[in-house]
Amino acid sequence: MGNLHSVSKALQHISPNSNVWVGDDPDIIKNADRVVYPGVGAIGDCIGEVRARGLDQVILEVAKTKPLLGICVGMQGMMTH
């Protein structure tokens, strides 16, 4: 799913008063104000892992209701799958 530590540190740097959480808990993702969907590597592997964790429907739901930033393969996954 990419270098989550780097993405997390970058977000904390640009918005130090925000709460940045890294994880795959569907309830926390659904309740977040904003969501970042990173990814690196092969799109098929990334999508496979997202589906295996049951996050594909969560991502679709979030995309309809709040800001969602896809980075690299995360963006590709939102557009093509």
The pLDDT tens digits along the chain (81 residues) read: 457 888 899 999 999 999 999 999 999 999 999 999 988 888 888 889 899 999 999 999 999 999 999 988 888 888 865
Task: Indicate the number of domains in the chain.
Answer: 1
pTM for this predicted structure? 0.80
pLDDT of residue 1: 46
Are 26 and 58 in contact, with CB atoms under 8 Å apart?
yes
User: Could you write out the three-class secondary structure of 29-51?
Assistant: HHHCCCEEECCCCCHHHHHHHHH
pLDDT of residue 2: 53
pLDDT of residue 58: 94
Are 35 and 62 in contact, with CB atoms under 8 Å apart?
yes
CA–CA gap between residue 22 and residue 15 (Å, rounded): 15
Domain extent, residue 36, equals: 4-13+21-80
CA–CA gap between residue 43 and residue 77 (Å, rounded): 7
